[in-house]
Structures are given as C-alpha cells and as structure tokens.
C-alpha cells in the first residue's frame, strides 16, 4: 500500500502545474451527490507530503483554502468515507466525490466523537441526523435537549437570558409550538440557535430558532395522524390530522387540530398595603378551568423553474366552545392590625377568541445572482371575555360584579429581503412595513369602575442592510436597521395627544467569528427593543376583586437593550457569556388605588435601567449507551427600585441546572430521565423561590418507524410550585401557586408517505402578531 501511494505521489508531482498564491475551491459530495459537511481538506507539499495548510468544508460541502506552494497534493477525508487525493493544479477543482467506507461506517464509537453541538458565527448549531437526537421522539423532545433552551409543560420555549425565540421550520414561521410535537425527531437534520439576530429581523427579536429537516423523498399523498392523552386529576386530550399532496413542483396541504385541556391551580397570596392605614390581605383561592381549542390550516405552493416558488396559506384559530373557569376565594383583611373583613368570592369566567391569518409569499432568484424573498400578511382577530363575581362580605354589602371585555384587531404587513454577492462577501438588504388597528372596550354594568372604549393605531416602516464576509475560518457580519414608528391612541374616539408618540431608531448589529486554536469563538453585539403589548398599553381600569384592580399604561415607552455575547465551543463543551444593558426596563408593579390604601392597582411602569450578566455552560458527551446533555445557566442582575422610600437592590443571582439523560436500549427502545432545578433569585422586582421537576419516559418505534408510541411521566415528584415576593413602592406581595402539572401521558403518532410541504412563507410581522 505504501509503495503504491509513493508511486501515485511521484506521478502527481511530475505532472502537476505550479500554483502561486491562489485560492483553491471545490465541493465535496458523497456517492449519492449529497453535500458532505465538515470534511477535512489538507494541502500537502511534494515530494515529502508535509502539511502546508488545511480547512473544513461548510454545511454545503463547499471549501476554499489559500495555496501558496508551487504544486502540491490535496487530501480529502471524512469519517465513514475513503480518503481521496487530487493534484493542486487549478483554482476550481469542481466536484470531489468520496465513497463510503464500510469498515469505518461500522465503527460507531469513532463517529460518536463528532461534536453534536458546535459554535458557528453567532449561532449554536446542533446536528440531529446521525446522532441519538434523531431517535428521541418528537421535535419538542429535541428542543428540550438543545443547550441554552428550556420548554415547560405548556410548550413555552425560553432561551436562557434572551426570552422567547421566533421558530422557523425550513424557513416557515411556527405559530403554534404544538406543531413541534408532530415533527418526528428523525425528520430533523439540524437545529440552529441564533442568540443575537442580525439587522434583517425585527428589532424586538432577541433569539431565532431554525429547524432544518431532512430532504423529503417521494410524491403523492402523505401525512400523519397524531393523538395524545394525559391524566392530571382530569383528562387532557389533543388530536391532529395533517395531509399533504405533492406532484412535481406543486403541493397542497392542510391540517386540523383539536385540543381539550383541564387545569387546576391553588393560589395563596398575601398583600401588605401602606396607605393612610396599614392593610393586610390574605387570599386562598382554588381555580379550575377548561380550554377547548380548534385550529386549521390550508395552503398551496408552486415551485416553477429551479429558483422560483410562490404560495398562499390560510390559518384559523378559535376556541369554538370556550375557555371557562371558576375561582373560589376567601379573603381575610385587617386594618392597622385589627380584623376588618372576611369575604368569600365565587367567580365564573368565560372567554372566546377567533383569529384569521392569511400569508402569501414569493421567493426566487433574478439575474442569476440576486435572490428575492417577499411576504405579505393579513390578520384579523376578535376576543370576548366575561367575568361574574359574587362577593359575600362581613363588613361591606354583598354584591355581584360583572366585567365584559372585547377586543378586535387588524394587521397588514409586508416584508422584502434581497441578497446579492458583493466582492468576497454577501449583501442582504430590504424593507418592512406593517399597520395595526387595535380596539378595546370594557363594560361594568354595576358602575363600580368606569366603562372604557380605547383604540390604538400603529404604523411602522423599516429598512435594513447587512454585509457578511469570510477569510478562511474567520468571518465578519455587520448590519444596521432603521425603524420609524408612529403610535396614535384614542379614548372614546377622540385622539389623546399626550399618549401619542413617534419613534425613530437605528439598531446596529456586529458579529465576528474566529478560531482560537481548536476552539470555535464568536463575539457579537446587537441593539434591540421591546415594545409594550397592546394589553399593557390599554389605559382602562379593570376589576379583579373588591381589593384588587388592574390596568395598562398608555404612557409606557419601549425598552432599549444593548447585548454583547461571547460564545466558545470545543468538542462537546459550549460556553456562552453575555452582558445586557436595558434602558426603560418594563415591569409590572402594584400601587395604591385609593389614599387609605385598601385597594391595590396592578399596572406597568418603566424603570430607568436594568443590567444582567449571564453564563451558560453545556456538555453533551457520549458514554456507551448513555447520552447525557447537561447545562448550567447563571444570571446575575444589577437592578434597584424604591421600596417604602428607600433604595432596594434586586441583585440576587439565579441559576438553572438541567440534566437530560437518554439511554439507547435494544430493539429500538429509548429510555429518558430528565431533571431540572432553578435556585432562588431575582427576576425584576420579584424574588423567586427555588423549584424543580423530574420527568421520565420510554419510546418505541414500530412498523418501520411509521408508528411511534411514547409514554411519559411529567413532574413526577409534584415539585413545580411557583413562589415569590413582589416589591412595589408601598405594597409587598407574597404568592405561592401550585399547578396540576404532574401527569402520565401517552402519545401515538402514525406517519405515511411523509411528503412534507415545500411552503417557504416566513411571515412579514411576526413580532407584531405576538404583541396582539
């Protein structure tokens, strides 16, 4: 073998052409012409085969490296494939094909040494295909194992230190996280977590989660049927049917999902109010509710030519029955240390909501190099809520209080993104526009609080540009976004000039990625904003109970945030360090509604600033059949407010520890045991107490992985209790909420001929929809 190799090298040396200070490029593929990412490319000098330089192919199998030698030999290698050699003769080598090596493919232990999660640019990229993550169950099960992410029992996803991310599957915006339950982990190729999104995204977006699926195969009719049932003192059920028909470049798709969930909660609350008198309120409440929801989706997509596609999609979400709830409360009230009142309250609540959304898009490539992505959204929604409280008091007169609230909103939005190669980099630029009309009415027939009729109108226009360039393994991305926002507020149809505002903001972004020997490194800076939701801006006073009211604040200003993040990655270890400075920080607090202090008013206010320093460390090694993912997140806030006329610091750090364990068992069984624990610490003006959860499950694939059974036990120790203390200027609240999250759940999913839709619509106003 060595003699043959020496002869080959000698022949290549004799016939090779000199190459001086050029860049050699090409694309590495496998035997099926699929791109081979992260393959090693090494330039060797001749005749001694000494190392000159090297690089790694990107996710598309493309590579480039400087060749400063006259002639040379290129070596291409990747685990599981035979090594190939080519003479370094011309700048463009074209396609390099590597054949599978059966012997190497059998060495599973060697392949498992590849890092599952790695740092690239300002993102954490987790490889799912070829790892155990492809067998853990659903898309939600994959998300729970991504470093830096958490998902609670209500499928709410949180990025540590960044908040709720926008989620995309193959470029399509996910509007209901329940959709992740119907995505098989085996269908996912990779998950990319962007912690500091660039100028292309709305300035309110602080994190992006991009899910890329395996390339679909086949045509015809495909889909899945999904059902799950869980018991937690009551049955929780959900069912979904999703179908897709695809032929050539055309596909049509639709789905229907029904949800029926029950929830129970016990609430303990104490409230101390310092007005003209010292009031103390103790509240014990039992809350039961039921949610019945229906969602439907239908759309079509047409791909014409190699680079052009267009489509339209309609979504309907509504609670066709109701969101209903009952609350039994008992209040014990003292004034200046003496018993004042004991009140029993029985409250019935009803809520109904309907949302219609239409999205249309076009994506294509013009003039060979100019890429175009256009989206248009229209949204209409209407909410109705009614609350009836019967109050029996030992001091005050018994009474019934009725609260009726309605809201309707319209949204029009458009977004255009263009991309063009410029110099040695790429330029992305575009514009975005949306218009929102939001109306709120509140009626109290008993006239205990005043009726209200308010309307908010907002117009926002934005332009952005971002340029990225790479030198070998070092890359730089810089961008800027300009947003103009005009906000108008009306009370009873009359414009309230004091509440109307106009904002003109510039948001820069900058990220630099570079290696430190064998460590991947990325340093990024972004400026972001968070605009108040329309509920937070609603200035009408609404009734909770005799001693508690609530309202929004139309004078709220958006908060501005500066974020600096440094990420490091080495093998299965990833580290992220971030600093955030938040100006005009938004939080809720309680104030005195009347001078004597017997009634509190919960509202929203701007604080001058809030700062926090956070550290995330995650490890994902492989030890035999054990595949753990461990992470530790620590956040140190720097925040202070005025409480009883004195400065109070809210600087207690909070830490979250997670350990997800997967055990690969014979006959395609996967056993899971997941734990998390959060220590006590400050979040804004609240001092939180510690809590944790323990979940376990076992999963089995049948019928060639078309049928999946997943049995799970959630919050087995019944330890998910929310406890804390809220500090306001003249009011201190303590609370403890206990939920019925402990449950046993069985999920059954059957898939057939999964021809996933090619729909590429991304939405034009995702953050505005969140605010609505």
Instruction: Please give the average per-residue pLDDT across 709-726, as a whole number.
Output: 91
Instruction: Please give the average per-residue pLDDT across 366-395, as a whole number.
Output: 91
| Most confident of the ranges 497-501, 627-631, 728-732 | 728-732
Q: How far is CA 722 from CA 20, 679, 686, in A?
A: 67, 12, 12
Comparing 136-140, 484-488, 508-512, 560-564, the range with the smallest average pLDDT is: 136-140
Instruction: Please give the average per-residue pLDDT across 383-392, as a whole number.
Output: 92
Token pair of 371, please? 């890429």
For residue 728, the model assigns a pLDDT of 95
> pLDDT: is 628 or 12 the higher one?
628
CA 285 to chain centre: 33
| Dist. CA 319–CA 462, nearest whole Å | 34
| Dist. CA 428–CA 463, nearest whole Å | 11
Is the pLDDT at 436 greater than 90? The verdict is yes
pLDDT-derived band at 478 (thresholds 50, 70, 90) equals very high
Q: Which ranges of 530-636 does DSSP label H, i.e. alpha helix? A: 534-537
For residue 20, the model assigns a pLDDT of 39
- Identify whether the C-beta of residue 740 lies closer than 8 Å to the C-beta of residue 232: yes
Comparing 111-125, 559-573, 613-627, the range with the smallest average pLDDT is: 111-125
pLDDT-derived band at 330 (thresholds 50, 70, 90) equals very high
For residue 18, the model assigns a pLDDT of 37
| Dist. CA 756–CA 760, nearest whole Å | 12
Q: How many CB atoms lie within 10 A of CB 261?
A: 18
pLDDT-derived band at 109 (thresholds 50, 70, 90) equals very low
Instruction: Please give the average per-residue pLDDT across 661-672, as a whole number.
Output: 86
| Dist. CA 114–CA 123, nearest whole Å | 18
Domains along the sequence of the chain with CATH = 2-104 (2.60.40.10), 220-771 (2.40.170.20)
> pLDDT: is 480 or 150 the higher one?
480
- Identify whether the C-beta of residue 418 lies closer than 8 Å to the C-beta of residue 429: yes
| Dist. CA 167–CA 187, nearest whole Å | 16
Query: Which of 318-334 are b and which e, b meaning 16 or more Cβ less than 10 Å from the residue's Cβ?
Result: bbeebbbbebebebebb
pLDDT-derived band at 483 (thresholds 50, 70, 90) equals very high
- Placement of tokens 């190799």 in the chain: 5
DSSP three-state, residue 133: helix
Share of the chain above pLDDT 90, in %: 42
Is the pLDDT at 549 greater than 80? The verdict is yes
For residue 144, the model assigns a pLDDT of 78
For residue 21, the model assigns a pLDDT of 43
pLDDT-derived band at 1 (thresholds 50, 70, 90) equals very low
> pLDDT: is 419 or 23 the higher one?
419
Is the pLDDT at 268 greater than 90? The verdict is yes
Comparing 63-77, 287-301, 452-466, the range with the smallest average pLDDT is: 63-77
| Most confident of the ranges 427-431, 746-750, 766-770 | 427-431
pLDDT-derived band at 442 (thresholds 50, 70, 90) equals very high
For residue 69, the model assigns a pLDDT of 47
Q: Is 260 exposed, middle or buried (0-12, 13-18, 19+ CB in 10 A)?
A: middle
For residue 22, the model assigns a pLDDT of 65
Is the pLDDT at 295 greater than 60? The verdict is yes
> pLDDT: is 229 or 23 the higher one?
229
Instruction: Please give the average per-residue pLDDT across 277-299, as a whole number.
Output: 91
DSSP-assigned letter for residue 603: E
Is the pLDDT at 308 greater than 60? The verdict is yes
Q: Is residue 49 left, alpha or beta, with left meaning phi > 0 and alpha meaning psi from -120 to 50?
A: left
Instruction: Please give the average per-residue pLDDT across 208-232, as a whole number.
Output: 80
For residue 652, the model assigns a pLDDT of 97
For residue 16, the model assigns a pLDDT of 37
DSSP three-state, residue 254: strand
For residue 8, the model assigns a pLDDT of 39
pLDDT-derived band at 603 (thresholds 50, 70, 90) equals very high
Is the pLDDT at 289 greater than 90? The verdict is no
DSSP string, 138-178: BHHHHHTTSTTEEE-TT--EEETTTBSPEEEETTEEP--GG
Is the pLDDT at 68 greater than 60? The verdict is no
Comparing 67-76, 162-171, 184-193, 288-297, the range with the smallest average pLDDT is: 67-76
Is the pLDDT at 642 greater than 80? The verdict is yes
For residue 106, the model assigns a pLDDT of 36
pLDDT-derived band at 152 (thresholds 50, 70, 90) equals low
| Dist. CA 100–CA 753, nearest whole Å | 27
For residue 458, the model assigns a pLDDT of 92
CA 275 to chain centre: 42
State the Cα angle at 769 between 202 and 289, rounded to 5°.
135
> pLDDT: is 106 or 705 the higher one?
705
Is the pLDDT at 766 greater than 70? The verdict is no
Q: How far apart are the first and last CA of the chain?
A: 69
The overall longest dimension of the chain from CA atoms, in Å, is 105
For residue 251, the model assigns a pLDDT of 86
For residue 544, the model assigns a pLDDT of 86
Is the pLDDT at 518 greater than 70? The verdict is yes
Is the pLDDT at 668 greater than 90? The verdict is no
| Dist. CA 166–CA 526, nearest whole Å | 17
| Most confident of the ranges 149-163, 362-376, 635-649, 654-668 | 635-649
For residue 495, the model assigns a pLDDT of 93
Comparing 30-44, 171-185, 311-325, 399-413, the range with the smallest average pLDDT is: 171-185
pTM of the model: 0.75
Instruction: Please give the average per-residue pLDDT across 484-511, as a whole number.
Output: 92
Is the pLDDT at 680 greater than 90? The verdict is yes
Q: What is the mean pLDDT of the chain?
A: 84
For residue 159, the model assigns a pLDDT of 82
């Amino acid at each position: 073998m060595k003699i043959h190799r020496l002869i080959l090298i000698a022949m290549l040396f004799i016939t090779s052409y000199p190459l001086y200070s050029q860049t050699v490029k090409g694309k590495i593929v496998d035997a099926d012409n699929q791109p081979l990412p992260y393959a090693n490319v090494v330039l060797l000098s001749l005749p001694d085969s000494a190392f000159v330089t090297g690089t790694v192919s990107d996710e598309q199998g493309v590579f480039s490296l400087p060749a400063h030698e006259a002639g040379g030999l290129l070596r291409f290698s990747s685990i599981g494939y035979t090594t190939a050699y080519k003479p370094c003769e011309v700048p463009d080598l074209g396609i390099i094909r590597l054949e599978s090596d059966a012997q190497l493919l059998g060495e599973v232990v060697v392949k498992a040494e590849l890092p599952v999660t790695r740092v690239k640019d300002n993102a954490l990229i987790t490889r799912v295909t070829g790892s155990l993550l492809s067998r853990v169950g659903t898309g939600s099960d994959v998300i729970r194992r991504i470093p830096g992410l958490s998902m609670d029992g209500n499928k709410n996803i949180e990025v540590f230190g960044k908040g709720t991310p926008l989620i995309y599957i193959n470029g399509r915006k996910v509007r209901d996280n329940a959709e992740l339950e119907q995505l098989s982990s085996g269908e996912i190729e990779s998950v990319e977590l962007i912690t500091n999104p660039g100028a292309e995204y709305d300035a309110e977006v602080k994190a992006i989660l991009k899910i890329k699926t395996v390339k679909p195969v086949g045509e015809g009719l495909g889909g899945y049927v999904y059902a799950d049932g869980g018991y937690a003192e009551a049955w929780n059920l959900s069912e979904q049917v999703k179908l897709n028909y695809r032929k050539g470049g055309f596909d049509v798709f639709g789905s229907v999902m029904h949800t029926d969930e029950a929830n129970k909660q016990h609430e303990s609350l104490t409230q101390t109010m310092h007005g003209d008198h010292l009031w103390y309120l103790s509240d014990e409440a039992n809350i039961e509710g039921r949610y019945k929801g229906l969602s439907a989706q239908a759309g079509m997509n047409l791909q014409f030519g190699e680079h052009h596609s267009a489509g339209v999609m309609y979504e309907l979400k509504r609670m066709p029955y109701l969101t209903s709830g009952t609350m039994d409360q008992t209040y014990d009230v003292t004034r200046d240390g003496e018993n004042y009142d004991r009140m029993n309250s029985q409250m019935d609540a009803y809520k109904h909501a309907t949302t219609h959304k239409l999205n249309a898009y076009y994506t294509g490539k013009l003039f060979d190099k100019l890429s175009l992505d256009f989206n248009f959204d229209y949204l209409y929604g209407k909410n109705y809520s009614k609350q009836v409280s019967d109050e029996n008091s030992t001091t005050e007169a018994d009474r019934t209080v009725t609260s009726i609230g309605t809201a309707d909103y319209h949204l029009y939005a458009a977004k255009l993104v263009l991309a063009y190669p410029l110099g040695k980099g790429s330029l992305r630029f575009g514009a975005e526009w949306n218009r929102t009309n939001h109306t709120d009415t509140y009626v109290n027939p008993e006239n205990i609080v005043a009726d209200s009729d308010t309307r908010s109108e907002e117009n926002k226009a934005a332009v952005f540009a971002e340029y990225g360039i790479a030198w070998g393994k070092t890359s730089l991305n810089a961008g800027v976004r300009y947003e103009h926002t005009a906000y108008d507020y009306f009370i009873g149809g009359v414009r309230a000039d004091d509440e109307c505002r106009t904002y003109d903001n510039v948001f820069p972004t900058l990220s630099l990625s570079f290696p430190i020997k064998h460590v991947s490194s990325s340093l990024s800076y972004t400026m972001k904003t968070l605009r108040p939701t329309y509920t937070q801006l609603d200035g009408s006073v609404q009734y909770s109970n005799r001693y508690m009211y609530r309202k929004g604040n139309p004078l709220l200003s958006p908060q501005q945030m500066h974020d600096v993040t440094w990420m490091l990655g080495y093998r299965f270890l990833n580290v992220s360090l971030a600093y955030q400075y938040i100006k005009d920080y938004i939080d809720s607090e309680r104030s005195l509604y009347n001078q004597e202090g017997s009634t509190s008013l919960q509202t929203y206010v701007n604080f001058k600033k809030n700062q926090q320093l956070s550290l995330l460390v995650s490890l994902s090694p492989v030890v035999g059949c054990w595949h753990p993912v461990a992470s530790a997140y620590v956040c140190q806030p720097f925040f202070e407010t005025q409480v009883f006329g004195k400065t109070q610091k809210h600087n207690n750090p909070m830490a979250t520890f997670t350990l997800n364990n997967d055990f690969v068992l014979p006959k395609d069984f996967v056993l899971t045991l997941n734990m998390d624990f959060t220590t006590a610490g400050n979040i804004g003006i609240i001092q939180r107490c510690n809590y944790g959860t323990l979940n376990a499950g076992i999963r089995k694939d049948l019928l060639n992985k078309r049928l999946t059974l997943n049995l799970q036990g959630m919050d087995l120790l019944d330890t998910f209790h929310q406890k804390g203390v809220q500090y306001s200027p003249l009011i201190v609240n303590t609370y403890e909420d206990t939920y019925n999250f402990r449950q046993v759940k069985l999920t059954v999913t059957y898939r057939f001929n999964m021809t996933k839709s090619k729909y590429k619509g991304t939405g034009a106003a995702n953050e505005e929809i969140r605010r609505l």
